[in-house]
Amino acid sequence: MEEQAEQQYREAAEGGDPDAMMQLGWLLQQREDRSEAEQWYRRAAEAGHAEGMFRFGGMLQEHGESAEAERWSRQAADKGNVHAMGNVGYVLEERGDLAGAQEWYRKGADRGDAFSMRRGGLLLEQSGRLDEAQEWLRRAADCTGTGQVLAQGDAMRDLARLAVQRGDSAEAERLLREAAAMLTKADDVPEKQGYALMADLLTLLASLLRERGESAEAEKFFRWAADNGHAPAMLELGGLLEEQGRPAEAEEWHRRGAETGHLRSALMLALLLVEQRRPAEAEPWFRQAAETGVPTAMDFLGTLLEERGDLAEAEQWYREAAEARIDRSMLRLAYLLEKRGALADALHWYRKSAATGNDWAMVKAGALAGRQGDLDEADQWYEQAAQAGNESGMYLVANLRMNRGELEDAEMWLRRGSAVGNGSCMAMLGILLATRGDVAAGEQWCRRAVDAGVANAVTDMKAVLEAQHGPGA
């Protein structure tokens, strides 16, 4: 039947019929023969066919030829093609002219174009006008007519996403189920686009079901979407299977997602392999994600390389992740730099990590600043670490202030460290109290320090007293 229709359209198109050119182009596009479809759309457009202009403009936009796409779409819009109005808006939106895009979306929306309503709604959402955005999206979802189903389904998915954001999962589920049912009944939707939208709808629906514990139905929907090539569903299905203690199946789906180029799947596959102590198999997947710019993958790849002793390349990946503001990579990079003697660079990254609130980076920044002779900076970092609850920071700021003769501050930090069980703080507090004359209290704290693991605390206290007062003190 399709072959007969194609033959009829082709004969009429070659005879100069613009309608037949358009219909032949549409039929060819449906079966993914896009190159010849574009040729016939061009001929229909050049013959003055408004729908041909619209479809030819859309294909040009896909190729990135936005100026030509805009020219043909405007001509189609001038001839009254309402879908072309949405095309003009989309060309302008892609170019960054959001005000111009919204104007054209409004023109298309006023004439019943669901695509214009949806894209206009998304622009309103981006600008923070959520009530108006939802109204435009609802209008798109309520549209009927030939060629509107995909835009309707997209709008219902967008409304479901907004419902999730405001905590209304029941409304989100209703919208997703209605959209899927509508799409199932539609007979004028291009197969490839229809399957892609259905997979997206079912993946979102399955995610809602998974969150409320309905894992069996969630798995069914994830599998349908994953079996139809939807990479996000492969990722989610892999995660669900991991949760259920089915690592072999999880690995299969993460691998299938990774092989499509889905970066999160590559990362999850690599992590699963590392958990199974298969680092050599994990490394290529970490690399795939890292080399495509995923900072988390850079960090994990750095760790894998550091663990096997390839410190130069580990440093390289830590640096890239650190520059992408991965806190752990900042700290590991600083450590490797310090280890090889690049102290100025190490201090720079310790400071960057400390500035994000990492209390161990504060301790390390303080220690390195102190090694370089800047005791004021060391004191500042130690105190920040101590304020953040870091026991080492409490001990170090107390030690530094004792050496400076600031005994009241030192005692305050030693008591705070001792209160959270730090043996070093207990030992130093005991020595401080003993040298101040309260030997009984000092010995008590030193014995607590011994119980906390500081073996020589009492001996050290006696040595300090004897150094000050002579043997037998």
Q: What is the DSSP string of 131-150?
A: HHHHHHHHHHHT--STT-HH
Question: 375: which 2 tokens?
Answer: 């005791």
- Angle, to 10 degrees, between the axis of helix 215-227 and the axis of helix 231-243? 150
Tokens matching residue 31: 């079966």
pLDDT at 70: 86
Structure tokens, 133: 């955005």
d(CA 406, CA 169): 59
What does the block give as tokens for 422? 């730090």
Neighbours of 355 (CB within 10 A): 14
Round to whole Å and give the CA distance between 225 and 188: 21
Are the beta carbons of 198 and 180 closer than 8 angstroms? yes
**Residue-level pLDDT at 453:** 93
Q: What is the per-residue DSSP string for 186-198?
A: -SSS-HHHHHHHH
The pLDDT of residue 473: 54
| Distance in angstroms (rounded) separating the CA atoms of residues 445 and 452 | 10
CB 136 within 8 A of CB 121: yes
Q: Return d(Cα 392, Cα 382) in angstroms, integer.
A: 8
Give the separation between CA 37 and CA 54, rounded to whole angstroms: 13
Write out the chain's pLDDT in tens, 473 residues: 567 778 888 889 888 888 888 888 888 887 788 888 889 889 998 998 988 898 888 888 888 888 888 898 899 999 989 999 999 999 999 989 999 999 999 999 999 999 999 999 999 999 999 999 999 999 999 987 767 899 999 999 999 999 999 999 999 999 999 999 999 998 877 788 899 999 999 999 999 999 999 999 999 999 999 999 999 999 999 999 999 999 999 999 999 999 999 999 999 999 999 999 999 999 999 999 999 999 999 999 999 999 999 999 999 999 999 999 999 999 999 999 999 999 999 999 999 999 999 999 999 999 999 999 999 999 999 999 999 999 999 999 999 999 999 999 999 999 999 999 999 999 999 999 998 889 999 999 999 999 999 998 889 888 888 877 666 55
DSSP state, residue 32: T
- The secondary element (H helix, E strand) that includes residue 352 is helix 343-355
Closest by CA position to 378, among listed 389, 390, 387, 366: 366
**Angstrom distance (rounded) from CA 375 to CA 368:** 10
Q: What is the pLDDT of residue 270?
A: 97
Handedness of CA 83, 88, 94, 99 (dihedral sign): negative
**CA quadruple 239, 242, 247, 249: dihedral sign:** negative
